[in-house]
Amino acid sequence: MYVVFSTTFTTGHVQGLNTDLLMTLPYTAAAYLYIRGLLDKKIHLIALGGIMTGLAFQSNPKGIIIILLH
């Protein structure tokens, strides 16, 4: 992904590979794991959701919002 975004020429100020994009996958995985863990009553899925939230937070501080929603 980095190669595509870093070698693609665009006019103007466009930053394709920014922290919001990097946060998307772990943030979505965290939400999915939290919901599955709560519905199936499996604590290890909730713990994995916490790990994914930590990864999302490392790339963008907005990733902590999913913790505040619980």
What is the identity of the amino acid at 36?
R
pLDDT for the residue numbered 46: 92
Q: Residue 27 to residues 2, 3, 10, 42, 58: CA-CA distances in angstroms? A: 19, 23, 27, 19, 11
Full-model pTM: 0.68
21-2-28 Cα angle (round to 5): 30
Gap between the Cα atoms of 28 and 21, Å rounded:
11
The DSSP code for 69 is T
Q: Residue 26 to residues 9, 13, 20: CA-CA distances in angstroms? A: 27, 26, 11
Q: What pLDDT digit, counting tens, does each position of 29-53 carry?
A: 999 999 999 999 999 999 999 999 8
